[in-house]
Structure 1
Amino acid sequence: MTLLLVAVVEMAAGHEEAGRRYEDDVLTLLGRHGGALERRMRDTTGGTEVQVIRFAARSGLDSFLADPRRAQLRSAIGEAAPATRVLEVRDL
């Protein structure tokens, strides 16, 4: 059973460009864990991003969240890191 997620990513004020670069880098890690970015959208201000992500299994999400490279990227960006809310969704 696949896992479908919607991530609402709020860029830190004044750090929007750094946040977008961070998201660019982190999203490249999805494939290592059976994940795929299906859609990526940004609001007109550039401060919020919405991502639709699918994983082949929940274990893929778990391994993505535990990926050491992801942790390194998060640590490197520091206070400029975006805040992310993730929703598990289903198609209607």
Structure 2
Amino acid sequence: MARYSAGTVDCPGSPKSVRIVVVGDKGTGKSSLIVAAASDSFPPNVPPVLPDTNLPLEFFPDGVPVTIVDTSSRYITSRSI
């Protein structure tokens, strides 16, 4: 049974962290979306692929850390490796 305390839920098996992977076609704004979510602003220049980005814990009342993973839209096959 869940235990409720100060707005949080302590459930066995609940995630200790969450990773969100953002995928999409080239030039669709994946990296810009991540920067905007993490900083609450929209900078004019964003690199094509970002390192893993941790969202501020205060964004989430349950305190579960959220990491957003940016991806390259470049299609890679085993032949090109």
TM-score by length of 2: 0.30
Higher strand share: 1
Q: Which structure has greater helix proportion? A: 1
Higher RCO (Cα < 8 Å, 6 or more apart): 1
TM-score, normalised to structure 1, is: 0.28
